[in-house]
Amino acid sequence: MAVTGQLDGSELSVPTVEAPKPGLMKRWFKGSSAYLYLAPTFIILAIFVYFPIVSSLRLSLNRVAPFGNQEIFVGAENYTRLLGSSEFWNTVKVSMWFMVGTVPIGIVLAVAIALLLSYPVRRLSWLHRMLIFVPVVISSAIAGVLFRLLYNPVVGFINHWLSFIGIDGPNWLTDRTFALVAVIIAVVWRQLGFNVIIALAGLQSIDDTLYEAAKVDGASAWQRVRYITLPMLSPTLFFLAVINVIISLQAFGEINILTDGGPGQATTNLVYSVFIDAFVGTSFRGLASAQAFMLAIIIMVFSFLQFRGLGKKVHYQ
């Protein structure tokens, strides 16, 4: 069975799995104790996920004093102010560029590497996998610290190595464009192990007999990738796209450690802007909450658009 890529709000269970017949179960598990089993999860989610949505909404309709001790109701002022502010649109733009920079590259790299890894070899495959998978356990904070060293203009390695091939490396963290590229590289790197594993799982779920049949028909290696692997991999690609979009929109640790949102606001994405407005300097919680709402809406819209756009092309086995 394939790892199916269904994202549909109404039906989230994996369709191939049959639940035991309710009629029989009903008699045995006479339900009310179910609520006790659910209670801890329910309580935590209610207090720390659903309730905050409501209070975020309330905060976003108020101006909140720097010490959190006063609130002035201002209605939609925070929202209108954001929509009219070039800084807000800049953070949206940074978030979008960030997504465009991380998601396609991350997925292409992952699939390419997974294709190489899926070719059976006699020995050493454990080593290949270990070296390639390892970023999966690296935190965003550590990734930030490691890349901060690599990009350092004095003791960093990247520009030093670039100089071997005759390239005079840029100011990675103080040039607007390269700072964004620098953070994108760090995030793609941290995400790579995860993506390769997902891609490999997808590849290995493809039935070998399809390839054998294609070989018999004289398909070239590229043709087999193009006409068998990629279509059969589409549910996995779909999943990778969704999860990577969400992860890229939520990038925080690398930005905090590498650039602090700078230079200027070149790497201030929405999340970072929320953080700055809420917790840096005298805070503006109302404005921050309004931005958080916008971010949430963008994340949901993207999930939906992707589902609509990709969903039609996705191949289900």
User: Burial of 289 by CB count in 10 Å (0-12 exposed, 13-18 middle, 19+ buried)?
Assistant: buried
Q: How far is CA 222 from CA 213, 215, 219, 229, 237, in A?
A: 15, 11, 8, 10, 18
Write down the least CB distance from residue 227 to other proteins, Å. Answer: 23
Q: Which are the contacts of 199, defined by CB distance < 8 A and separation ≥ 6?
A: 107, 110, 111, 113, 114, 233, 236, 240
Rounded CA separation 63/29 (Å): 51
Q: How far from 151 is each of 62, 154, 189, CA to CA, in Å?
A: 41, 9, 14
Phi, psi of 7, deg, nearest 5: -130, 100
Query: From CA 117, how far away is CA 148, in angstroms rounded?
Result: 30
d(CA 211, CA 217): 10
Q: Looking at beta carbons only, is 100 or 149 nearer to other proteins?
A: 149
What is the nearest approach in angstroms of other proteins to the Cβ of residue 64?
9
